[in-house]
Each structure stands twice: as structure tokens, then as C-alpha cells.
Structure 1
């Protein structure tokens, strides 16, 4: 394949298995070639991007070492087919003048609906009920309702009795709030932690933590949001509280969350994202053997998965590449 030049770009798709690869419409005199890898592990990145001027990925760590001119001498553009971009060392990109673009707003419907689905699964203990029923425990005991009461012997709350705290008021947070309201929940939109704005629609962070019975986390991962919910916050929550994270792993302190569940400070948790991904029993305390009896729902970072999202991502990916080549890049994060 020809090496990248001022008018020819070689595009490497590192996670083509989860992407719809578009046909690009480039200006006259511009050409491109492409290599599509179905899946790429972090250890494979250096060998795969040496000839690339553009790389496209969904969620893959691209660190300073990979971004060195020795490993990726031709790299000019990184397109992240996702909203979050914490997987990229932006400072290393800035030093080399590598443009980084994301694809925001593509998965709003899917992620918000996934969050609501996780709410019902956690509040109603649906997976536990399914496992017990299919294992024959209902037939053995005759009545299973007492297995699903809270520590005070109370039955689950219904939506009309829920107070939904929205931590993060971006597009996903706004749609979760809309869905929660339509279900009959009282909704509190949290202000930023340790800072109160003059926005009358916002509620101080500490008040949201104390009053909410279900907390939806929808904030990006950055230094200011790392371990945004940790021991102090869990200690302040009502015992009815369940925590649902569809944003980024690392925004919720997993060890502190397990401890709060084990001590029955809160009622349950549902996580689609984890500090270390791919997550499993050896990497997350939420999936350790001693957490199996806790009310935890875990899904493998697929809240975005839907037909609508796939179409939106392909459209935004195509736009990101074409506009950058034309010198008018969109959705630039670095």
C-alpha cells in the first residue's frame, strides 16, 4: 500500500468488528487506503498503526508511548467512535499536533434506555428472581417474596416513590431525567460537586446524594470526576438508594461501592462501565467471589448498543474524517 502523503491517507480501523465502515467522499486529488482489523488488543496497537495517518477506534487505550514519532510517525488524526475520549493521551497528541475528534450525541437514546432498564433490574431484583425461579426454589418453598424485601423488611419502591438524582446534565443525563419523570419519579438535577451555580433548576450535590433513592451517573471521566462517588457519598445516601453508572469507569469508587453494599448502607448498584476494562472477577471488586451475594447488575460496556447508535456513529465517523481532510474538522477534543 502507498505510504501517507500530503494528498493520500492510510486509515487503520482498529475495532472494525463493532463499526460500520463508511465509503468516504474526499475532495479532488485526495485518495485513501484502509486496513480494517476486526479487533485490537492494547499490545497490538504499536504494530498496527505504523503506516497510519488516521486511526479509528471505539474504546482502546492510546497512550504516550504509542503516540511517539518512532511508533506512529505518520499519524495526524484520531477518530474516537464514542462520546468519551479519556482513553487517549490528549497531551501527547497536542505535543505532536495530532487532532483528536469524537462522535458525541450518537448513543443518547440507547444509553439512557439502558440506564432505565438497569434501574428496573436492580430495584426489582429481576436477575435474582429469574435464577431462583428457574432453579426450582419457588416450587420448593412455595413463596419467594420474602427473599426480595429490604433490610427493614420493606417491599421495593415503585417509580412514584422514587427520587431520581441525575449526576451529569449532558445529553444522556437530560434524557434519563425525561424518562424518569415520565415514569413518575421526582427528579433532582445535581449541581457540580463542591460548587453551586445560580441555576435554579440545579440542586446542590450533597442534597441530591442525601435525598435520592436512585442515582444515575452520567459524567465524563476527568481528574475532577474520578471517584466522584466514594465512601463519603455512600455514607450519606438513604438505605433505599441504588447507584447506576452508564458514564465511565473510574467515576464510581468500586471498592467503596462494594463496601457500602456489603454493609447494607445502600440497596443496590448497576454498572455498565468499570475502572479496568474488559472487566472480570480478577479486575473488579464488583465481580469478586465475595460480592456475588450483593445486589449488583453488571453489563459489559454495551449501553450504547442499538441500531440507531450504529447508524449515528457511521455518519459522525465519516463526517469527522472528511471534514478534517477538508481542513474544517468537527467535534475536536484536542
Structure 2
């Protein structure tokens, strides 16, 4: 019976489906037990991971028998894809399965940060009544959403935003200005400079590569509209976090929602500590009860097919 090692959390029903045909080692704590992980993977035919398990270097070398790497998500920066393919391993991401969760996170946090009233519960409960101070929040309708990256998640986010009356522009160097996708979606094709200067909400939807590292630099942050909101659900390292935090403290930016960081988890001396108008979440934008089922079911089926082929 072929063996599958699952190193991070996965929907139990999907795990159970794999157990009907395979020898499954499932422990969501395995990612943090390097010694045990190195013992379990050498005779595994497939390894299923989320974003924390690093399939590269020593761990990749230990996967002597594996032919399939399943990724419970879409980002592949924790997997040395080229090295896997060179070893004959098929890398399978859960493309599209968590797109709705991410898109809703972007729209939800944008609404919270633009309105600016939802983080005052403790103040109101204490008997204070900051009605005047909290009466200048902005409606999302009529604002401009700038999407940096216009793949599947970006396009779904655009559709939700348009339903709320937002104007949407996007920058994606992989899409030509004459691509039919712009007319089909009703989204304006823009240069990065145009987007940065015009958007009320800037949302990042690109993978971390040498070309996208520090894409939202301190210089570009300084060019954003005063009071603009920045949202990062892509990867840490794409935005200059210290520059975003400084702009929030100075009142130049109106808010930020960051789900990804460099490093993860945050360490001592992080620029985010005590930062105003910031929503910080632990890399869960794409993880909901529903998306976990979709992602897990998709990967379980895909890995099973690959092993049976």
C-alpha cells in the first residue's frame, strides 16, 4: 500500500478518504517536529503540505521515493518546484479552491478600514461616546480598488468589489493591455504607477519572486493617496512592512490589513507592534471552514489520482 505523509492540518473527511486506499500518516504538528518528519518521508510516495513545510534542501533530499507533492493552497514559495520536477515529482497546488475566502477577506477588511468605526468597542463599553470622532468614515461605494496581480483571486475580488460600487483597476505585466480579459471584466488596465497614485485600496495578489520582492517599497508607499488602505494576502516580503507601519503612524495611510509577513510568525521588534489602524492575521485569509473542505477535497482527489496513475 502506498504511503502518504500529511504534515499540516487537513479536513478530516479528506484524510479519511485517502485512508481507504493508502497508508496515511497524518499529524498537523508534524511540520514542527523536524526529526520525526525526516523519519517519515523517505518511504512516502506522496507528501501533502500547507505553507509552512519547506520542501527543499535536506527535506526534499529525504523524499527519496515521493512522486507527488500536494499543496493545500496555491502559493509555491515553500516548495522548490524546479528541483521537485527535476526529480520527477509532480507538484499539485489547490488552484482556485480558496479564492473566495481570500476575496472576501480583502473586501471585508477594506470595508472595516475605510469606515474606521469597528475597532471602538472597548472605548464605547467603557462609557465613552466618540460619535463625532467616528463620523468621518468612508463608504466603499465610489472608491477605487487597485489590484496588483489579476489572476483568479484578483478577478474574483474585482467582481465582489464591483458589486459594491467600487471602480476597479489592475496591474499585471503578464496580461497585455489588449487582452480581452479587461473588457470582459470591466476592469481598467493600469501601470503600477497609475494604480499606486489613484487607488483608495491597494490589494496585492502576486507570488513572491525576485521580481516582486519589495514591490510595494517605501518610495511607492509615499506615492499613495493620503488615507489609502493597503492589503496584503499574497506573501510577506512583497511589501515593505516597516514603511507601511511608519505611514500608518504618521497618518499618511488610512489603514492596512496584512495576513502575511516576513518572517512568520512575527519576531521581537516587529514594526507592527502598537501600530494604529492595522488588522493583522496569521496567514489565514484563504482558510475558512468552507475553503478548507474545498482545498482538502481537491488535493486528496488529485494526489490519489496521481498515485494510482
TM range (shorter): 0.7 to 0.9
Which residue number in structure 2 is paired with residue 35 of structure 1?
Answer: 25
Q: Choose from 88, 103, 115 the match for 1:124.
A: 115
- Assess if the C-alpha contact under 8 Å between 1:64 and 1:92 holds in 2: no
Deviation at 1:38, TM superposition (A): 2.6
Q: Report the Cα distance in structure 2 between the residues aligned to 1:64 and 1:281, rounded to whole angstroms.
A: 24
Which residue number in structure 2 is paired with residue 243 of structure 1?
Answer: 230
Q: Report the Cα distance in structure 1 between the residues aligned to 2:269 and 2:22, rounded to whole angstroms.
A: 40
Q: Report the Cα distance in structure 2 between the residues aligned to 1:255 and 1:42, rounded to whole angstroms.
A: 28
Which has the higher Rg, Structure 1 or Structure 2?
1
Deviation at 1:202, TM superposition (A): 1.0
Structure 1 segments (4+ residues) deviating >6 Å: none
Which residue number in structure 1 is paired with residue 204 of structure 2?
Answer: 217
- Assess if the C-alpha contact under 8 Å between 1:234 and 1:265 holds in 2: no
Does residue 282 in structure 1 map to residue 276 in structure 2?
Answer: no
Q: Report the Cα distance in structure 2 between the residues aligned to 1:238 and 1:305, rounded to whole angstroms.
A: 31
- Assess if the C-alpha contact under 8 Å between 1:17 and 1:37 holds in 2: no
- Assess if the C-alpha contact under 8 Å between 2:248 and 2:276 holds in 1: yes
Q: Report the Cα distance in structure 1 between the residues aligned to 2:165 and 2:261, rounded to whole angstroms.
A: 30
- Assess if the C-alpha contact under 8 Å between 2:8 and 2:31 holds in 1: no
Does residue 73 in structure 1 map to residue 64 in structure 2?
Answer: yes
Q: Choose from 206, 221, 232 the match for 1:234.
A: 221
Deviation at 1:106, TM superposition (A): 0.4
Which residue number in structure 2 is paired with residue 190 of structure 1?
Answer: 171
Which residue number in structure 2 is paired with residue 9 of structure 1?
Answer: 2
Q: Deviations over 1:215-253 (max 9, x none)?
A: 111222222222221112101100121001122222222
Which residue number in structure 2 is paired with residue 21 of structure 1?
Answer: 15
Does residue 115 in structure 1 map to residue 96 in structure 2?
Answer: no
Q: What SS does structure 2 have at the residue aligned with 1:285?
A: coil
Q: Deviations over 1:278-299 (max 9, x none)?
A: x23527422x2xxx14211011
User: Normalized against structure 1, the TM-score is what?
Assistant: 0.81
- Assess if the C-alpha contact under 8 Å between 2:114 and 2:140 holds in 1: no
Which residue number in structure 2 is paired with residue 54 of structure 1?
Answer: 46
Q: Report the Cα distance in structure 2 between the residues aligned to 1:237 and 1:173, rounded to whole angstroms.
A: 20
User: Normalized against structure 2, the TM-score is what?
Assistant: 0.87
Q: Report the Cα distance in structure 2 between the residues aligned to 1:126 and 1:228, rounded to whole angstroms.
A: 30
Q: Deviations over 1:85-125 (max 9, x none)?
A: 11112233233222211111101211111111111222223
Which residue number in structure 2 is paired with residue 167 of structure 1?
Answer: 148
- Assess if the C-alpha contact under 8 Å between 1:276 and 1:284 holds in 2: no
Q: Deviations over 1:175-209 (max 9, x none)?
A: 1111111111111122439x974346411221011
Q: Report the Cα distance in structure 2 between the residues aligned to 1:296 and 1:310, rounded to whole angstroms.
A: 26
Q: What SS does structure 2 have at the residue aligned with 1:297?
A: strand
Q: What SS does structure 1 have at the residue aligned with 2:120?
A: helix
- Assess if the C-alpha contact under 8 Å between 2:71 and 2:91 holds in 1: yes
Q: What SS does structure 1 have at the residue aligned with 2:24?
A: strand
Q: Choose from 270, 277, 290 the match for 1:308.
A: 290
Deviation at 1:276, TM superposition (A): 1.9
Which residue number in structure 1 is paired with residue 185 of structure 2?
Answer: none
- Assess if the C-alpha contact under 8 Å between 1:192 and 1:205 holds in 2: no
Does residue 271 in structure 1 map to residue 258 in structure 2?
Answer: yes
Q: What SS does structure 2 have at the residue aligned with 1:222?
A: coil
- Assess if the C-alpha contact under 8 Å between 2:227 and 2:251 holds in 1: no
State the aligned residue count: 298
Q: Report the Cα distance in structure 2 between the residues aligned to 1:160 and 1:33, rounded to whole angstroms.
A: 52
- Assess if the C-alpha contact under 8 Å between 2:111 and 2:139 holds in 1: no
- Unaligned 5+ runs, structure 2: 183-187
Q: Report the Cα distance in structure 1 between the residues aligned to 2:172 and 2:69, rounded to whole angstroms.
A: 32
